[in-house]
Chain A
Amino acid sequence: MTGEAILAGLSGVLAASGPLVFAAIGETISERAGVINLSANGVIVLSAMGSFAVGVATGSLLLGFLTGLLIGALVALVVAFGNITLRQSQVALGFVLALVCRDLAYFLGNPFMGASGPRLSSLPIPGLSRIPVVGQLFFAHNLLTYLSFLLVPVAWYFIFRTRQGLVLRAVGERPAAAFARGANVNRLRYLYTVLGGALVGLAGPMFSLSMKAGWKGTISGLDGIGWIALAITIFGAWSPLKVALGAYLFGLLQWLGVVLQPHLSGIPSQVLQVAPFPLMILTLLLVNIGNAEWVERILAGLPPRIRPAAAGLLRATRVSPPGALGVPFERD
């Protein structure tokens, strides 16, 4: 494999992981506020179809992408209303919506099957894209991919460095305490669920109007991505940086599976296709090892010289979900 091909491949990985980045960070925002929006997979399929249909009908890319955003926001609004106002289970609601949206997409998408719609063209950034290696990796993409790059630090900064982000975390951590400090818990939960849902919705048109433009009854790699986004949110410990890392890692592993397949003829191709999943599970185990009691016991037996460092390392790898994830807030 030539260096050129590897570079092109990696650049492709960055672009192909874009939808996953949007979806997983959208889910991160929603879960940080305490609301699990399980509908992601259905939403992405529906918004891919919906935005393609609007794109075909109007010829407008902008309207197409806005449709994706809107579908994500509306479905999230249903989750929020059912959960926050009607106090129904987030999990049941989200799950049913995931199935309904997906089937709806396949049903409503029939008339548009095979139609040709607009496609987002790539937009190499003048000057920057000429830098060797870096230019091709980061500055020769389309607008949405650039946005996915930007979203990562922006979301991280918002959640961990701003006052609003602090309150967002507070609401998901312990709503009663956030409420006692003057936060309007349920309004904020509505807000962030809808915002997060809108980001998830953007993942759809990134397929149907950009990466794999078109609608042929479905799009390869589309159905299922929402579930992966949900998993990555957890593996990424609800932090945009780690979540993005998870998304790119997943993209990379998938690409490797494709690239390595001819060279690893002894291994069935299915193994390489599913390999990313157990690898992610292994990661989860590793990042959670600091929570186990026996680890503490081993730690206490270490010589005093290395104990503090080891303890610090384990503490740093320790993750815990937002304290009130999935728990509706009730005033009594």
Chain B
Amino acid sequence: MDVEIRDIHKRFGAVRANAGISLRVTAGTIQGVLGENGAGKSTLMKILSGFQPADRGEILLDGRMAHIGSPADAIRAGVGMLHQDPMDFPAFRVIDDFLVGRPGGISLSPGQARRELQAQAEHFGFSLEPNREIARMTVGERQQLELLRLLWQGAGVLILDEPTTGISAPQRETLFAILRQLAAEKKTVLFVSHKLDEVERLCHRVAVLRQGRLVGEESAPFDTAQLVRLMFGKEIVVSAPRSTAREETVLTLEGIEVEDARLHVGPTSLEVRAGEVLGLAGMEGSGQSLLLRVCAGLMSPVAGRLLLDGHDMTHRPYRSFHDRGVAYVPAARLEQGLVPGLSLTEHVLLSERHRGPLIDWKRGRAKTARRIHDFNIRGEPDNTVESLSGGNQQRALLALVPDPARLLLLEHPTRGLDVESTVYIWSKLKQRCTQGTAIVFVSSELEELLRYGDRVAVLFSGRVSAPVSAALTSVEELGELIGGKGLEPAA
């Protein structure tokens, strides 16, 4: 389907999220949409899919004016969207979630849907068990489910707002093959991403947004430096930082085992030293978040011992972990990390250890303004967190991490961050390391794991490898480890 957007405007208070954007995408094109955090990409996509009304502007589908006033209209017109953060129902089971919005008669006939879901998931190599509760899945797995739903919906225009945050490299190739296939069938794909290599490989054309305006369009083959210049108005240098690991051990796991209803992780023994960065690699749902949650004191291990700075912390409550300087940053930023409805200032005040009955708003606002500046958040102290763009929510989350901290546990710390912020955030984190903070982080980006980690441990369906040195491992080797190579099969 041909898509034409004409002069779209959208304001949120003083922020001009879209300031007169016009774009034509012909049928059969995979159109990339690039732009720094807060540039207005998601807003534009939400307008196109009827989720948000535009203040002004027109949308034409196949040359005809389309009146898209709601997602229902958009779906009827053949426009489907994958949102940046999963738009699903945490309390539901996978199969029920999958069925919401499916047309059909009164009876649900879940058997049929279940078979189709499983066939689709198998094709991608996703493990999405129909009876699992969404709330117990990782953000990446939830995004996988959303992706399958969108493909199953069978739209003529597919909008994907950062679809690759939770999937591994081989799964990404499957997705790309499907998207190319859809484009060959004259469907239109709009692909929003911060991963330039993906955009360059997949897209036929790219539109770059900056501060709500379209600042450039390019066709394949792309020049990375040119794209970066268009996005940020300057060059970005990415360099691998030096290790700051010290001698003393911060975190010790001795034969730790942990489990939830689905997965048993361990036994795991590892040590993380002060100033060291340990990466956790693996397909989504291989046990990374269970391991992090145990280290954060949010779950109790079913076997083994956990020591912090030599103190036995096994089975201690979260509070004592917190008091020992452990900070945990979950991936589900709007559900577990931030409190929707509260402003940035309120978040900063909440995260303080300062105890006392009265709130010093003036100091709180000043402190928040400083953090906003430090972490380059596009927003005001009084903005509620859900009004921030996806990447800016992520920055806010990281800005709330207590300082100083002894051990930082980060789940997908740069999910949704643009290239510039990724570099910037890591420079901030590394700065912490020089002060002796240890970091354990989960990521699905192999480059990120190898560039910023000192060592990388690989998880494969609950088994944890001995950490490998990041400097001595290539992206290809790490990819193979993630696929299960080098780990003995389960006894």
A interface with B by C-beta (< 8 Å): 161-164, 166-167, 169-170, 173-174, 176-184, 293, 296-297, 299-301, 304, 307-308, 311-312, 315, 320, 322-323, 331-332
B303: shortest Cβ distance to chain A, in Å?
Answer: 8
5 pairs, A vs B, C-beta closer than 8 Å: A161-B107, A161-B108, A170-B89, A296-B300, A323-B89
Question: B72, A182: Cβ atoms under 8 Å?
Answer: yes
Question: A331, B52: Cβ atoms under 8 Å?
Answer: yes
Question: B99, A177: Cβ atoms under 8 Å?
Answer: no
A296 and B299 contact, Cβ closer than 8 Å, known pairs A162-B108, A180-B81, A183-B101 = yes
- Which residues of A have CB within 8 Å of B92? 169-170, 173
Please give me the residue from chain B that is nearest to A185 by CB atom.
Answer: B70
Interface of B is mostly: loop
Please give me the residue from chain A that is nearest to B386 by CB atom.
Answer: A332
| Distance, CA A287 to CA B102, complexed state (A) | 33
Question: A184, B91: Cβ atoms under 8 Å?
Answer: no
Question: A304, B302: Cβ atoms under 8 Å?
Answer: yes
Question: A170, B100: Cβ atoms under 8 Å?
Answer: yes
* CB < 8 Å neighbour of B70 from A169, A184, A332: A184
- Which residues of B have CB within 8 Å of A307? 259, 302
Q: Which of B289-341 contact A (CB under 8 A)?
A: 299-302, 315, 317-318
A309: shortest Cβ distance to chain B, in Å?
Answer: 11
Question: A167, B51: Cβ atoms under 8 Å?
Answer: no
| Distance, CA A323 to CA B106, complexed state (A) | 24
- Which residues of B have CB within 8 Å of A180? 49, 51, 71, 81, 83, 87
Please give me the residue from chain A that is nearest to B315 by CB atom.
Answer: A297
A175: shortest Cβ distance to chain B, in Å?
Answer: 10
Question: B87, A184: Cβ atoms under 8 Å?
Answer: no
Question: A166, B96: Cβ atoms under 8 Å?
Answer: yes
| Distance, CA A76 to CA B284, complexed state (A) | 45
- Which residues of A have CB within 8 Å of B101? 167, 178, 181-183
* B3 on interface, CB distance cutoff 8 Å: no
Number of interface residues of B (CB under 8 A): 38
* B88 on interface, CB distance cutoff 8 Å: yes
> Which 4 A-B residue pairings sit nearest by Cβ, starting from the closest?
A181-B101, A300-B300, A182-B72, A177-B87
Question: B261, A173: Cβ atoms under 8 Å?
Answer: no
Question: B261, A179: Cβ atoms under 8 Å?
Answer: no
- Which residues of A have CB within 8 Å of B301? 300
| Distance, CA A299 to CA B96, complexed state (A) | 29
Question: A173, B71: Cβ atoms under 8 Å?
Answer: no
* CB < 8 Å neighbour of B89 from A173, A293, A315: A173
B388: shortest Cβ distance to chain A, in Å?
Answer: 13
- Which residues of B have CB within 8 Å of A311? 261
- Which residues of B have CB within 8 Å of A174? 87-90
| Distance, CA A167 to CA B71, complexed state (A) | 15
Question: A162, B90: Cβ atoms under 8 Å?
Answer: no
| Distance, CA A299 to CA B101, complexed state (A) | 38
Question: B300, A162: Cβ atoms under 8 Å?
Answer: no
Residue among A164, A173, A183, A315 with max Cβ neighbours from chain B (10 Å):
A173
Question: A162, B107: Cβ atoms under 8 Å?
Answer: yes
A250: shortest Cβ distance to chain B, in Å?
Answer: 27
A186: shortest Cβ distance to chain B, in Å?
Answer: 11
- Which residues of A have CB within 8 Å of B315? 297, 300-301
